[in-house]
A and B are shown apart, each in its own frame.
Chain A
Amino acid sequence: MVWTSLKPVEQEVLDSLLQSFSAGYPQYEFRQLFYPNEEARINFIISTLAGKGPDLIHGASDNVGPFTDLNLIQPLESHLDSLFLAGFLQKPFPANTWLKGHLYQIADRIGNHLCLVYNKDIIKEPPETMNELIELAKTLQGKTSGGKTIRYMLAWNYTEPYFAVPFIGGYGGWIVDDQLNPTLNTPATVKAARLIYDLAHTYGVTPRECDYEIANALFKDGLSVMIINGPWSWGTYLANGMNIGIARIPMIDETHLWPTPVVSPLGYSVNANLSGKKLEIVLELLKYLTSAGAQLAYTRVSGSIPSQKEAHRSPLVTDSELLRHAIDQMSIGKPMPVVTKMRWMWDAMRPGFQGVFSGELTPEEAAAFMQKKAVSLIEENL
Chain B
Amino acid sequence: MYDNRLAYLYTMPAVLVMALFIVYPFIYNVVISFSNMNLSHFRNWDYVGFKNYLLVIFSDDFWYYLFKTILWTVLNLVAHVGIGVFLALLLHEDIKGKTFFRTLLILPWAVPQYITALTWRGMFNSEYGSINLLLGHFFGIQVPWLSTEWGAFTACLITNIWLGFPFMMIIALGGLQSIPANLYEAADIDGASRFQKFRNITLPLLKPVMVPAITLGVIWTFNNFNVIWLVSNGGEPSDKTHILVSWVYEAGLNYFRMGYAAAFSMIIFIILLMFSWRFIRHTRATESVY
Which chain A residues have a beta carbon within 8 Å of chain B's beta carbons?
A: 38, 42, 45, 49, 66, 69-71, 159, 207-209, 211, 213-214, 217-218, 340, 343-344, 347, 350-352, 354-355, 357-361, 377, 380-382
Contacts and interface: CB of A to CB of B under 8 A. Distances in A.
B115 interface: no
B254 to A, nearest CB: 7
A209 B127 contact: yes
A380 B258 CA distance: 12
Interface in B146-196: 146-149
A203 to B, nearest CB: 17
A294 B233 CA distance: 35
11 contacts: A49-B42, A70-B43, A214-B126, A217-B127, A340-B40, A351-B237, A355-B237, A355-B238, A358-B147, A381-B39, A381-B256
SS of A interface (majority):
helix
Contacts of A360: 149, 237-238, 240
Interface string B213-246: 0000000000000000000010011111000000
Contacts, number: 84
B226 to A, nearest CB: 16
A377 B238 contact: no
B39 A354 contact: no
A38 B234 CA distance: 12
B26 interface: no
B114 interface: no
SS of B interface (majority):
loop
Contact of B40 (A209, A213, A214, A381): A381
Contact of B148 (A66, A71, A359): A359
Contacts of B269: none
Q: Which 5 A-B pairs have the closest CB atoms?
A: A351-B238, A209-B126, A354-B237, A209-B147, A354-B238
Contacts of B39: 66, 69-70, 340, 343, 381
A351 B239 contact: yes
A344 B42 CA distance: 16
A209 B144 contact: yes
B236 A159 contact: yes
Contacts of B80: none
B173 to A, nearest CB: 39
Contacts of A347: 254-255
Contacts of B239: 350-351
Given A38-B254, A340-B40, A381-B40, A357 B128 contact: no
Contacts of A213: 125
